[in-house]
């Protein structure tokens, strides 16, 4: 499938692969995007370390380059406990936003990417720490395989995650559902594999919003969600990614914010 980018506000660089000898899996594409992003990493940088199956490959690669001495003096700020564990196992020195309030570069995956580089994140439940870390970055490189590309955020049958406080979560979920009634919104509490409420690294719950129609103006939707008492944060990352690296069957596309 060809990757089509039509927006004028971005510059696009396409890197073609040689004709593939083997069919690339989605995991291969994630790894390709992640490794490409790590080419932006320089010694001495403070790095935001993303969460998820795509970001995991970027961490592996950073760890490898550190071991080989090709990267030195790196400090990582993890966006989840899971990433923190992985980084420690790879020997990546860690810090936090209190000690390093400005981050040179963050690398992280996404669940949806629209043509303006707006994202939906948080289907792994790490959206709050990701938004804090990636909001503090000079450069945020988002890495995805081409299945994550959408025309509009929300309304693709997949969840728009909202982190809420556990206190009276049903009340908050109802408020959120009513907010997007016109889009046929159904709000569901996310459960873990044992059927208990999924608890985030911050001790909160996730309410997933399923929309039958597009969300409409993302900024208006974002403001409306954040006004609901009980909401901590949502998974729309608007105007935050500075670069998106997309790996697809035909090659890598690098899309930069104009
Ligand atoms: O909470 C999870 C994060 O936002 C992930 O970065 C996002 O869900 C993408 O994950 P993956 O790379 O596993 O598709």
State whether 115 and 167 are in the same domain: no
Domain containing 120: what range? 10-147+238-257
Catalytic residue at 163? no
- Of residues 25 and 23, which shows the higher confidence score? 25
In a domain, residue 2? The reply is no
Options 130, 134, 146, 163, the catalytic residue: 130
State whether 68 and 196 are in the same domain: no
State whether 225 and 244 are in the same domain: no
CATH number at residue 67: 3.40.50.1360
Q: How many angstroms separate the alpha carbon of residue 166 from the centre of ligand 1?
A: 22
State whether 138 and 251 are in the same domain: yes
127 lines ligand 1 (CB under 6 A): yes
In this predicted model, what pLDDT tens digit does every residue of 187-240 receive, in sequence order? Answer: 999 999 999 999 999 999 999 999 998 888 999 999 999 999 999 999 999 999
State whether 113 and 143 are in the same domain: yes
In a domain, residue 5? The reply is no
Question: For atom 9 of ligand 1, which residue has the closest CA?
Answer: 110
Place 4 in a pLDDT band, splitting at 50, 70 and 90.
very low
In terms of DSSP bridges, do strands 10-16 and 243-248 run parallel, antiparallel, or are they unpaired?
Answer: unpaired
The ipTM assigned to this model is 0.98
State whether 213 and 247 are in the same domain: no
Question: For atom 6 of ligand 1, which residue has the closest CA?
Answer: 109
State whether 136 and 252 are in the same domain: yes
Number of domains the chain contains:
2
Residue 216, sorted as left (phi over 0), alpha (psi -120 to 50) or beta, turns out to be left
State whether 209 and 173 are in the same domain: yes
Q: How many angstroms separate the alpha carbon of residue 161 from the centre of ligand 1?
A: 11
Instruction: Please state the φ and ψ torsions of residue 117, each to the nearest 5 degrees.
Output: 70, 20
State whether 74 and 21 are in the same domain: yes
State whether 66 and 180 are in the same domain: no
Decide if 245 contacts 254 (C-beta within 8 A): yes
């Amino acid at each position: 499938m060809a990757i089509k980018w039509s927006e004028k506000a971005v510059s696009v660089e396409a890197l073609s692969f040689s004709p593939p000898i083997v069919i690339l899996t989605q995991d291969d594409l994630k790894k390709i995007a992640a490794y490409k992003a790590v080419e932006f990493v320089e010694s001495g940088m403070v790095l935001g370390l993303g969460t998820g199956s795509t970001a995991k490959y970027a961490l592996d690669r950073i760890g490898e380059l550190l071991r080989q001495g090709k990267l030195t003096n790196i400090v990582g700020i993890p966006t989840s406990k899971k990433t923190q564990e992985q980084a420690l196992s790879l020997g990546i020195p860690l810090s936090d936003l209190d000690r390093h309030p400005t981050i040179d570069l963050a690398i992280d995956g996404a669940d949806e990417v629209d043509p303006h580089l707006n994202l939906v994140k948080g289907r792994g439940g790490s959206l709050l720490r990701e938004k804090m870390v990636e909001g503090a970055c000079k450069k945020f490189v988002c890495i995805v395989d081409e299945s994550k590309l959408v025309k509009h955020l929300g309304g693709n049958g997949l969840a728009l995650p909202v982190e809420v406080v556990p206190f009276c979560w049903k009340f908050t979920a109802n408020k959120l559902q009513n907010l997007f009634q016109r889009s046929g919104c159904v709000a569901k509490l996310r459960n873990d594999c044992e059927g208990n409420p999924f608890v985030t690294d911050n001790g909160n719950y996730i309410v997933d919003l399923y929309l039958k129609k597009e969300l409409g103006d993302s900024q208006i939707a974002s403001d409306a969600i954040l006004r609901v008492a009980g909401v901590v944060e949502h998974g729309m990352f608007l105007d935050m990614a500075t670069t998106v690296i997309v790996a697809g069957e035909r090659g890598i596309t690098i899309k930069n914010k104009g």
